[in-house]
């Protein structure tokens, strides 16, 4: 015949099982929360891209969305997986590079109808090559159009300076007043 366990033993066994189930449930809730946090954060960051694989940011990344992501990152970075950290790093890098490219083009303008002094053909070519790093075609085209405007102004100024220098050197050499022809 089997031996029957004492009531204290049966009670202790039930308490241990209840405690083990509670600990297991807490562990599962924490594990699910951790997974959800990372999944949700990655989804929020990836929502700022039109194409995540190519790392093409949306045409406009709203400042409020970026600030919310930064706040979430600062608050929960200790709980993020390596993948979440990598996704965030890619986003901040892509966004910062876009801002730098936009600043390069903006810095060419003195105002809406003039370009800055000190613009050179080499600088324009360098910025033109830099703009090719933009993966969003709409943003690229907008920045390229602004750059092309400055390039046209610069070329017109260069052509005018060449023409004026030629006229002036002819006048200096011959002292004949130039005509409109």
DSSP class per residue in 19-58: HHHHHHHHHHHHHHHHHHHHHHHHHHHHTTEEETTTTEE-
pTM: 0.80
The CA distances from residue 102 to 98, 142, 144, 145, in Å, are 6, 10, 10, 12
Tokens 């009670």, residue?
Answer: 11
Per-residue pLDDT at 75: 96
What is the rounded CA–CA span in Å between residue 48 and residue 68? 12
Q: What is the pLDDT of residues 66-122, one digit of tens each?
A: 999 999 999 999 999 999 999 999 999 999 999 999 999 999 998 888 888 889 999
Confidence of residue 169 (pLDDT cuts 50, 70, 90): confident
Confidence of residue 3 (pLDDT cuts 50, 70, 90): low
Q: What is the DSSP letter of 169?
A: H
Q: What is the pLDDT of residues 142-162, one digit of tens each?
A: 999 999 999 999 999 999 889
């Amino acid at each position: 015949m089997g031996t029957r366990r004492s009531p204290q033993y049966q009670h202790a066994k039930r308490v241990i099982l209840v405690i083990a189930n509670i600990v297991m449930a807490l562990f599962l809730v924490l594990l699910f929360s951790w997974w959800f946090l990372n999944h949700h954060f990655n989804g929020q960051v990836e929502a700022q891209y039109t194409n995540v694989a190519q790392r093409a940011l949306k045409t406009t990344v709203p400042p409020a969305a970026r600030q919310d992501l930064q706040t979430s990152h600062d608050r929960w970075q200790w709980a993020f997986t390596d993948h979440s950290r990598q996704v965030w790093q890619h986003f901040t890098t892509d966004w910062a590079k876009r801002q730098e490219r936009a600043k390069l083009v903006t810095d060419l303008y003195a105002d809406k109808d003039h370009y800055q002094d000190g613009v050179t053909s080499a600088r324009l070519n360098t910025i033109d090559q830099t703009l090719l790093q933009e993966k969003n075609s709409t943003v690229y085209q907008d920045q390229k159009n602004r750059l092309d405007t400055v390039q046209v102004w610069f070329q017109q100024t260069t052509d005018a300076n060449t023409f004026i220098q030629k006229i002036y050197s002819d006048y200096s050499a011959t002292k004949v007043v130039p005509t409109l022809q």
